[in-house]
Structure 1
Amino acid sequence: MLLQGTVVLPAQQSDVVSMPVAGVVQAVLVAPMQIVRAGQPVARIMSPELAQWLREWLMADTQARLAQGKAQRDEQMFADGIVSEHRRNESRAQYEMASVAARERRQALRLAGVGEATLAQASKTAGLSPQLTLVAPVAGTVLEQMATPGQRLEAGSLVAHIARAGSLAIELQASREQAQALRVGDALQVDGCKAPARITALSPQLSSATQGVQLRAELTGREDCLRINQFVQLRWQGSAAASAAGVLSVPAAAVVQQGGRHYVFVRQPQGFRAVVVTTGPGGGSDVVITSGLKAGDEVAVKGVAAIKGAWLGLGAEAGAGQ
């Protein structure tokens, strides 16, 4: 059974670099098709909003340290009987709230891509740098680079699209009849690849436009034989359950009809013998055989019309072959 499909990048193999805050792109440090490592700089941006976040964090961190000192003094004074328990508890609560606010702003900066070393330096010098370097989250290949120097981007805007190194997927469609013979786990031989692909999903619904069934297959090997968006042809290898039940497939040209039954011509020492077979659901260039053949049988594919003509001219032998 011959199928056609398109090579795609699975969603789980794709990562993006996006703007954590609004800003202006100062420099782009990678190009499409470039291989990058995890943590490699991708772009530098300038963001006044980032400087504001740093200032708010420094203020919150200072307030937390002051609240901590006051809470410690009141704790000691309460132990000495100088202040009441209410004042001690009030100082504790103020310190906890100030500490939570400082941690919250620090976490926002870390999520924006500001490193621990930068935060430590800012805490010592009270520096408010509006520059930020965006880095690749994973190792892979840059598929797209969407930003240009001087461009202003809002928070969440895409800067680069990175494909992780790994297996590709193939999206394909089968007719309703073909899909009845396919199962998850079936092998598909891909033109140009040594390792087969395996069907990983079959859609439970038909396409409203084509009335076909959408399938997804993934390569079992890591050979470099396909490219994203490539059109490929795949040949169904049969399912494990079908093989165990004696289900085989042969080229459509090998099957002939006579008297309402299907025949194939199996090679014998004296020539070819007509064998009645039962066909299953399928289509395209191959026909599924559910009974009548066994693995290893050699069937005629070329010159079938001539063989059929000779067979029909020898009625006695034809009857014996059935």
Structure 2
Amino acid sequence: MNRIMVRAGLITSALGLLAIGIGGGYWWGQRHADAHAEVSQPAVPAPQERPVLYWYDPMVPDQHFDQPGKSPFMDMQLVPRYADQAATAGVRIDPGVQQNVGIRTAIVEVGQLTDALRVTATLTWDLRRESVVSARVDAIITALHVKAPFESVRRGQPLATILAPAWSSAVAEAQALEEAGSAAAKSLHTAAMQRLQLLGLSDVRLNRDGSVTLLAPSDGVVREVLVREGQAATAGMPFFRVNGTSTVWLEAAIPQASVGGIGPGTKVEATVSAIPGRRFAGEVEALLPQIEPTSRTQWARIVLDNPDGRLVPGMFAELTLQSLGDAQVPLIPADALIATGSDSRVIVLRADGGFEPVRVRVGHSGGGRIEILEGLQGGEHVVTSGQFLIDSEASLSGALQRLAAPTPAASAPPDATENRP
């Protein structure tokens, strides 16, 4: 028994010495290798520290912080934005991805914005062709040749016969001189006729019995008959109101937002349901200097040619106005504009193949195009399809932040100090 125990102790001692030898050899070899590495390999310099512009949350890239820490919006650490990253503007997208998402561009053209504005209007009399027939002296209506309103008349057609005592001597003098044959009498007759004109007898016919026949001053319609036979009329009292029909007015309410491209001379085309298949040409005569407070519209006075008199006041018409911009400006497709509550921008394709957001100031729109007053010069390629994907990438890359002027960084989040890496 004792012999067996002594043999076991010797074996245990031998194994322990063997383990110590192996461990010592490994330690010596590793130390020798480390010393050799320190001697043979040169020291690698520490990477140079990159300057940080600000920290931001990738989910809320518009918000900047001046210190690192935990995002107050999401359960994540703020990400640094380095200066060398900000130096590269724009976004690059793989050509294959561009084809898959259907990114398309259009060239920015320079021109005047034209738009076909469609509004409704009502026909009225052209008041510039209205005449009032009256007497400048007291008179008595002896006969009416036009007794009902809205009768058509020709220039020089008799309207009424009157007796005016104040005109009797002037009329008798003119008649007497008209029958005289001498040269002196003819010159006096001319003077007598001028006197009749001063008395308001220019469009009259002198009758043998001393009465005067009032004549229509122009072709048109007797819109109103204001006297009757046997009536005594005082000086200046209107007898008839005659309106020409060769032109008529259209009164159209133009929305305030569309008034900018409309003015005197703007071409107009009108259609009337009572005369199907026919179009009437005209132009805007004036924009009345008043805005309707309830509808926010401005009245436009439009003159339409009416050679055959088929257009009648009171008719309802539909108008097409060719609205024209004020000047030559860059024009972009309406699909290219990215408009937010406080900003408008487009995505421009650069010559190197990258995409860059550009802030613009827009003007009027119409016909699927928009005026650009600031931001573009013309000739650029703007993205018309897939621009929202590029805009999102630009937001994450910080390109949108470079559109704005530098602003002070926001204060650090509440737990920035505790969670600073």
TM-score, with structure 1 as normaliser = 0.54
Please give the per-residue CA displacement for 1:133-161, whole angstroms capped at 9, x wherever unaligned.
11112222222221111221112222112
Query: What's the CA shift for 1:206?
Result: 3.1
Match in the other structure for 2:144: 28
Match in the other structure for 1:134: 214
CA 1:232–1:17 in structure 2 vs 1: closer, same or farther (change >3 Å)? same
Amino acid of the residue matched to residue 131 of structure 1?
S
- Structure 1: how far apart are the matches of 2:255 and 2:195? 51
- Structure 1: how far apart are the matches of 2:363 and 2:308? 34
8 Å contact kept, 1:279–1:287: no
Query: What's the CA shift for 1:114?
Result: 8.6
Match in the other structure for 2:283: 198
Match in the other structure for 1:4: 120
- Structure 2: how far apart are the matches of 1:249 and 1:45? 70
Match in the other structure for 2:87: none
Match in the other structure for 1:16: 132
Match in the other structure for 1:125: none
Where 2:247 maps in the other structure, the secondary structure is coil
Match in the other structure for 1:218: 303
CA 1:24–1:116 in structure 2 vs 1: closer, same or farther (change >3 Å)? closer
Match in the other structure for 1:44: 161
CA 1:257–1:160 in structure 2 vs 1: closer, same or farther (change >3 Å)? farther
Where 2:227 maps in the other structure, the secondary structure is coil
- Structure 1: how far apart are the matches of 2:332 and 2:259? 16
8 Å contact kept, 1:48–1:130: no
- Structure 2: how far apart are the matches of 1:15 and 1:179? 32
8 Å contact kept, 2:135–2:238: yes
CA 1:280–1:195 in structure 2 vs 1: closer, same or farther (change >3 Å)? farther
Match in the other structure for 2:8: none
Match in the other structure for 1:266: none
Amino acid of the residue matched to residue 32 of structure 1?
P
Counting only pairs closer than 5 Å after superposition, residues 1-322 of structure 1 correspond to structure 2 as 1-30=117-146, 31-54=148-171, 57=173, 106-110=193-197, 111-112=200-201, 129-192=209-272, 193-203=278-288, 205-207=289-291, 209-210=293-294, 212-219=297-304, 222=307, 224=309, 226-239=311-324, 281=364, 289-290=369-370
Amino acid of the residue matched to residue 201 of structure 2?
A
8 Å contact kept, 1:247–1:288: no
- Structure 2: how far apart are the matches of 1:35 and 1:258? 58
CA 1:155–1:170 in structure 2 vs 1: closer, same or farther (change >3 Å)? same
CA 1:248–1:198 in structure 2 vs 1: closer, same or farther (change >3 Å)? farther
Unaligned runs of 5+ in 2: 1-116, 178-183, 273-277, 346-360, 373-384, 391-421
- Structure 2: how far apart are the matches of 1:240 and 1:317? 27
Please give the per-residue CA displacement for 1:198-254, whole angstroms capped at 9, x wherever unaligned.
222224x33375553332212256465532133433233333878x8797999xxx9
Query: What's the CA shift for 1:174?
Result: 2.1
- Which protein shows a greater Rg? 2
Amino acid of the residue matched to residue 112 of structure 1?
L
8 Å contact kept, 1:36–1:139: yes
- Structure 1: how far apart are the matches of 2:236 and 2:368? 51
- Structure 2: how far apart are the matches of 1:197 and 1:114? 31
CA 1:222–1:54 in structure 2 vs 1: closer, same or farther (change >3 Å)? closer
Between the two proteins, the alignment pairs up a number of residues equal to 235
CA 1:132–1:317 in structure 2 vs 1: closer, same or farther (change >3 Å)? closer
Query: What's the CA shift for 1:281?
Result: 3.8
- Structure 2: how far apart are the matches of 1:136 and 1:3? 36
Query: What's the CA shift for 1:42?
Result: 0.5
Query: What's the CA shift for 1:52?
Result: 4.6
Unaligned runs of 5+ in 1: 62-67, 69-98, 122-128, 263-277, 293-314
